[in-house]
Amino acid sequence: MSTYGAGGIRAGGGEPGARRAVEEATVAVVSRLSEDDGLGARSLTELVLQRLRGEILSGALSPGERLVEEHLTRRFHTSRAPLREALRLLGEQGLVDHLPRRGVRVAELSTRDVDELFSLRDVLERFALGSVLGGAEGPEPPDPERLVGLVAALAMMERATARDDPLARAEAHRRFHVELVALADHQHLSRVYEPVILKLQLYMATNIRREAANSSPMDAVRRHRRLYEAVAGGDLAAVLSVLAGHGARTYLPPDARHPHDRTPG
């Protein structure tokens, strides 16, 4: 019978010992890193960046909302220089748009943009997983060492959810999907994928935040755990089935959902 060990990662009796050892070691490292969160001096720019990023990903600042420098410098008790640098970095992260003669606003995508980007994400993930698990000899579990990134992201997501840290949860969510595609060890695929996930991170965070409000905060963790376990099992058909019901857009506004998107269970 399978059980869930540290970090909620399955450690079933029938699974290879090597995989269990890698999972347990990875979760232990993530736990130590999480305990160290917030230690060490950070620059004023980094502090402003983290505050604004957290407010954007938590929904406190809405897509399309203007970010007025004068208001923000008063709020954060800072000068314009670190604020402008923080806004520049947020632009690189795809979270704000810098508009000529109109200032800065929280990034906003059209319904068509959201649909096309999520569809492209799906195609790229399917391609990546097919290249890893689509061997002619049938299902074959990947080497446990290749799954370390997924295990770490899943453990980070669970810890962030348990302590109700939406910023860390959003980062773990993004990292999980980046690591999923990285399994293909395809340099150019990753270069194509990462800008897509960067543009979608605000909407991915919104979906998980609304899921937590409407069901259980741990539902998102369980969804990603199911996907991880399917990948670890090595059966491409099972992986694609789980991916099809992943619920990436279930809690977005109706016009941003895929027609066939199902509520994650």
What are the pLDDT tens digits along the chain (265 aa)? 333 333 444 443 345 565 565 555 444 544 544 444 443 346 899 999 999 998 998 888 999 999 999 999 999 999 999 999 999 999 998 899 999 988 999 999 999 999 999 999 999 999 999 999 987 666 788 899 999 999 999 999 999 999 999 889 989 999 999 999 999 999 999 999 999 998 898 899 888 888 888 988 899 999 999 999 999 999 999 999 999 999 889 988 776 555 455 444 3
* Residue 7 and residue 27 in contact, taking contact as beta carbons nearer than 8 Å: yes
What is the per-residue burial (b if ≥16 Cβ within 10 Å, else e) of 41-77?
A: eeebbeebbebbbbbbbbeebebeeebeeeebbeebe
HEC-encoded secondary structure of 37-62: CCCCCCCHHHHHHHHHHHHHHHCCCC
Count each helix (H run) and each strand (E run) in the chain, helices first: 10, 3
- Tokens of residue 210, six digits: 């609304």
H/E element, 97: strand 96-99
d(CA 147, CA 133): 13
d(CA 247, CA 219): 11
∠ CA 165-253-189, rounded to 5° = 70
* Nearest to 87, CA basis, from 76, 95, 78: 95
What pTM value is reported for the model?
0.77
- Tokens of residue 221, six digits: 């963790």
Side-chain half-sphere of 235: how many Cα atoms within 13 Å? 8
- Structural domains in the chain, CATH included, are 44-106 (1.10.10.10), 110-256 (1.20.120.530)
